[in-house]
């Protein structure tokens, strides 16, 4: 069965993207670095066994080049984490301010942050060590998720903000008879 998968385009277009999307989810939506590592090893193992790409063979046959590639990978992860942390902090500020605006600006920012799942204001890097390490180690998956997810979420939030008043007007009009009797 696996040979049928490896000989077909199905493997490249179905199995590998599913593993990559799982890795994206594990690195961004959870703090399960161990699960992400298992996912990477599974991904590399499937490539080794069922495709023309043999990562483990390459590492054994080209140790110096593999070490250089690993070094570049680490540098890219360190550079990426600066941008990701900036994005994460700015998103936190936006969410905290939006929540405070929804419930009144007199609400304590610290309690709002905790309610939203943040540990402190300002965010302390030491509180997010495992998340930051995950971003550095799995930066390609994190970057893909960030590039795809953040702009799409912001687009729909902007659209929602534009249409929210007219949607509320529809609801107010539909319930006008009921609310008049109060």
| Residue 56 and residue 48 in contact, taking contact as beta carbons nearer than 8 Å | yes
Domain boundaries, the chain: 1-61, 66-182
pTM (global) more than 0.75:
no
pLDDT digits (tens, 9 = 90+) for 111-165: 888 888 898 889 999 998 888 888 888 888 888 888 877 788 888 888 988 898 8
Q: Which helix (H) or strand (E) holds 27?
A: helix 16-28
The DSSP symbol for 104 reads -
The answer to whether 51 touches 6, Cβ cutoff 8 Å, is yes
Give 52 or 57, the one with higher predicted confidence: 57
Confidence of residue 1 (pLDDT cuts 50, 70, 90): very low
Q: Are 139 and 76 in contact (CB under 8 A)?
A: yes
């Amino acid at each position: 069965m696996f040979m049928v998968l490896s000989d077909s385009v199905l493997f490249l277009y179905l199995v590998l993207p599913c593993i990559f999307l799982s890795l994206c989810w594990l690195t961004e939506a959870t703090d399960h670095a161990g699960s992400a590592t298992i996912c990477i090893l599974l991904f590399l193992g499937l490539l080794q066994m069922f495709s023309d790409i043999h990562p483990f063979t390459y590492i054994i046959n080209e140790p110096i080049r593999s070490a250089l590639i690993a070094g570049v990978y680490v540098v890219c992860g360190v550079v990426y984490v600066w941008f990701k942390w900036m994005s994460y902090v700015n998103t936190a500020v936006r969410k905290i301010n939006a929540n405070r605006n929804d419930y009144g600006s007199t609400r304590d920012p610290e309690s709002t942050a905790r309610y939203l799942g943040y540990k402190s204001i300002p965010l302390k890097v030491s509180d997010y060590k495992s998340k930051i390490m995950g971003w550095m180690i799995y930066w390609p998956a994190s970057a893909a998720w960030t590039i795809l997810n953040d702009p799409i979420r912001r687009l729909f939030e902007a659209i929602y903000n534009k249409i929210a008043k007219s949607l509320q007007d529809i609801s107010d009009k539909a319930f006008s008879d009921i609310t008049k009797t109060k």
